[in-house]
Structures are given as C-alpha cells and as structure tokens.
Amino acid sequence: MTCETLTADDAALLFTWYDRHHRDLPWRVSPPMARQGVVADPYHVWLSEVMLQQTTVQAVKAYFDKFLRLWPTVEDLAAADTDDVMKAWAGLGYYARARNLKKCAEVVARGHGGRFPDTEEGLKALPGVGAYTAAAIAAIAFNRRSAVLDGNVERVISRLYAIETPLPAAKTEMRQRVSRLTPADRPGDFAQAMMDLGATICTPKRPTCALCPFRMKCMALSSAVPETFPIKAAKKEKPVRLGAAFVAIDGADAVYLRKRPETGLLGGMTEVPGTDWSARRDGETSVDARPFVAPWESCGTITHVFTHFELRLSVYRANVADAPPAVGGWWEPIASLKRQALPTVMKKAIAKAIPHAFKPG
C-alpha cells in the first residue's frame, strides 16, 4: 500500500492526532486557541522560524521570549540598535541570522508598513528568508497551501515513501511529495502537525510507529526498517583549524574586548583579541602573536565545532596592572561580560582563562 495522494480521511486522522497531541510552543496558535478566534501573528512566526534554523526548539524558547520582551513588534526591532540585537542573540549561533533579522525587520517596517508579505514569493524577497522559511511563514501565518519541509518533515516523508535517494539530493522529491500531500484546508496546521509528528512520534531513533496516524500507509514501516530513513550521504570529515585567543585582565577586573568586522564568520560580534583563523586557514597559535606586550601565560586549549570545521584555540591570559590604551577595543568589567555580544567560542576562551567569568554570582 502506498500513499501517493493524501485522502480527506488521512488528513482528518492527522488533524485529529494534532488537535489532541500538538506541542504548546510560545509562538504557536494551538488548535484550541484557533477555535477561540486567535490568529497567528506573522512577526512571531517569522521570528521563531529564523531562530529555529539549525537550532532546537528548547534552545529557542528563551531567546524568543527575550526578543518579544525587548522588541514586541517588528517596528520595535527595526528601530533597535544593531549592537543590542547582536547582544540579545549571543549564544544562539549562526550569527548571520541576527544581522539578516535586523535587516529584514527594517525592510518590513519601512518598506511594507510593518506588514509581512503574505505569499512565498513576497516573503522570499526579504533579507534572510529562504525557500523553507518563506513556505513556513506563508502556511503558518497566512494559511497558504505551501510545501513546508524541515528536518522533521523530511523524516516523516522519507519513511512514508521509503525514499532511497540520499539527502540532500532527495529534497526535491520530498518537497514535491509534501506539496501533493498538503490539503487546501488548514495547510498551516498540516505543516505544524507534520513537524510535531516528526518531533514526537517519527523520531530518529525508536519511533513509536504504533501511535502514528499514518502507520497503515508507511512504506518504511511495512518493510520493518523505518529507522534507516532518511538515507543520508556520507559526511565529509570536518577539517580542524587552529588559532589563539588572548584574554587580558586589568587591575580593575576588566577584560579587553573588541568587535569583529561586520562581514564574515561571527560578523559584528564581540571577541577577545586573537589570531587570523578562518574556515579555510589556520591562525598563529603561539604567544608570539600576542596583541601587546604583557606577561602572557598559557591556559590550555578550547575546542569549538562550527558547521563546516572544528576550531582549536590556544588560550593565553595576562594580568596587566597598567592597562594599555584600548585602541580599537574597550575594557569590559567581568561582571558585565554576560551582557556583551560574545559568541559561544569566545565565552569558552574567556572561561578557560577566567573560570568564574560566567558563573552566577
């Protein structure tokens, strides 16, 4: 048995399951809320979808709440200082998203009167909004019949059809199948139901197939091999890059910080001085690369994994009673480091040199 087309009865089974077992998420209009007349806020949907790119729901919840407290509307976010946005984003990773988030808010506020476009094509014209995000916003915020394909939906679709083509090559076929499966009625709820099905039932390991509303039509289940899907192409081994980080502390318990260039990896974020490493090349690792003369001492090495490479930084610390002039940077009290736009890799480097830097109290 196959599921080449999703019948009204099949959609009803999925909606029945979703109405009972949906996840309650801070950006979501749940089925009970919808029945009471609550409608999705496009700003909330867009903000959550950008944050959820390459990031877990659990990690995003606190950041979503923080952003809404600081900037309740897209106009508020558009008017915010970029440095404040980067500080609020710090720790969430993939920092180009934060820069595009600010640019997109400005375009929506100034070019669209604070209203998000309600079509996929219109949404894709916004900064930082790709095909998936545009489809998700169109479906969830505007109830457009859009093919929404995230990692959870990929897993559900690959198992329903036992798709043998490895990812990422299989994405085109998956998107076509999702497009055919999406009903005209409640397409936003259908997209979210498929996401929830993948997140809670059709999980990567030990899926609870007995509870799945599609169990009678799942080709992978009928072959007793659901966990083998989706098939993924062999991953290339990540290259290891080397560099150094220098943590200087003055007599007032302040750390020397500077801002990275606006473009490139970690663009616009705050850092301690370091060597010129990148995804394609190593930086210097010895104390000879120090930013200024001081009694530098080795604190060991930290490791941080980026999407395409692993970085190993040799960390050095120096206590400087007479702090040199803050040329191109500033001295930040240790007590306020948490409020700076420090990416995780820089927090690791500072914590290696100052173990108490980010601990409560």
Paired tokens of 71 = 């900037």
Paired tokens of 12 = 């009803």
Q: Mind listing the pLDDT tens digit of every residue in the chain (361 residues)?
A: 344 455 667 778 899 999 999 999 999 999 999 999 999 999 999 999 999 998 899 999 999 999 999 999 999 999 999 999 999 998 898 888 999 999 999 999 999 999 999 999 999 999 999 999 999 999 999 999 999 999 999 999 999 999 999 999 999 999 999 999 999 999 999 999 999 999 999 999 999 999 999 999 899 998 888 999 999 988 889 999 999 999 999 988 999 999 999 888 998 899 999 999 999 999 999 999 999 999 999 999 999 999 899 999 999 999 997 766 666 899 999 999 999 999 999 999 999 999 999 988 6
Cα distances from 271 to residues 204, 219, 257, 296, 322, in angstroms, run: 36, 50, 6, 18, 21
Q: Where are the strands (E) in the chain, listed by range? A: 240-250, 254-259, 270-271, 297-305, 310-320, 329-333
Entry pTM: 0.84
Identify whether the C-beta of residue 267 lies closer than 8 Å to the C-beta of residue 279.
no
Q: Mapping DSSP to helix (H, G, I), strand (E, B) and coil, where does residue 79 land?
A: helix
Q: Which residues contact 74 (CB under 8 A, 6 or more apart)?
A: 43, 46, 105, 108, 109, 114, 116
Alpha carbon distance 75, 52 (integer Å): 21
Candidate list 4, 49, 120, 173, residue with the active-site label: 49
Domains of the chain: 8-228 (1.10.340.30), 240-353 (3.90.79.10)
**49 a catalytic residue:** yes
Please provide residue 91's backbone torsions phi and psi, each rounded to the nearest 5 degrees.
100, -15
Model pLDDT, residue 1: 38
